Amino acid sequence: MQLSPDTTVLWWWGPIPVNATIAFTWLVMAVLALGSYLITRRLRDDVSISRWQNLLEILVTALRDQIRSASRQEPGPYLPFIGTLFLFIAAANLFAVVPGYQPPTASLSTTVALAIAVLVAVPLYGVARRGLRAYLAEYLKPTVFMLPFNVMGEITRTVALAVRLYGNMMSGSVIGAILLGIIPFFFPVLLQVLGLITGLVQAYIFAVLAMVYIASAQAAQGDHKQNDTPGD
């Protein structure tokens, strides 16, 4: 039994092994990008729109609303990053109903990569909004001695984000595999349904947490909320 799709190497691209994680990520990316392209190439400004456009508009509007409520800011600059996080994780998890598919989010490498993306995005958004000096000054608060703890907080927060997603998705796959061995029929189906809900919830939690981190790093002076993260 494999715990990570990283170990399943599908083919070699020269010296580089293309494992299941990367391959299925490309699949998810292709579906998302191609679907978006097909739907959005014939957009209408009119009041009567196609049902697919309606679906995407509902999706985008919901994302913007969530970003707005989590950050109390206009969602414009954050939508591509946070929205992609949610859509990628949700799509990667939901495709798990397809037989033979291995969710890339069940790989710690993927979740670490996503967490690193958040780790990079937090200071970038902070600097873009408040300027480099004001952002760096946050690490020296309340005293300069807190600098190591603040830096450590950033890193552990990122690691927690990565491990949370990985653990949930991997455990879903592992529990499904174990139950398949004990009760071969019927029960794994229920678990699959539960897995779909869990997948969506994880995508939502990951995206909202990322938004909260970014927003808290941009919080005004004196509104220091590092490490104030809700558990799942």
What residues contact 132, with CB distance under 8 A and at least 6 apart? none
Options 6, 102, 103, 203; binder of another protein; rule CB under 8 A: 6
The yes or no reply on residue 11 touching another protein (CB under 8 A) is no
Q: Shortest Cβ distance from residue 1 to another protein (Å)?
A: 14
Site track 107-136 with another protein (rule: CB under 8 A), x = hit = xxxx-xxx-xx-------------------
Judged by CB under 8 A, the chain residues 34 through 93 that form the site for another protein are 36-37, 40, 43-47, 53, 56-57, 60-61, 79-81, 83-84, 87-88
Q: How far is the CB of 30 from another protein (least distance, A)?
A: 9
Residue with smaller CB distance to another protein, 107 or 226 = 107
Least spacing, CB of residue 184 vs another protein, in Å = 27
Residue of 121, 53, 109 lying closest to 83 (CA atoms)? 121
Residue of 194, 47, 188, 215 lying closest to 130 (CA atoms): 215
C-alpha separations of 69 from 53, 72, 73, 202, 215 in Å: 24, 5, 8, 18, 11
Neighbours of 126 (CB within 10 A): 22
Nearest residue to 64 via CA among 48, 44, 52, 81: 81
Q: How many helices (H) and strands (E) does the chain have?
A: 7, 2
Size of the site for another protein (CB under 8 A): 44
Helices 108-130/79-94 angle, 10° precision: 170
> Which residues are at the interface with another protein (CB under 8 A)?
3-4, 6-7, 16-17, 19, 21-22, 25-26, 29, 32-33, 36-37, 40, 43-47, 53, 56-57, 60-61, 79-81, 83-84, 87-88, 104, 107-110, 112-114, 116-117
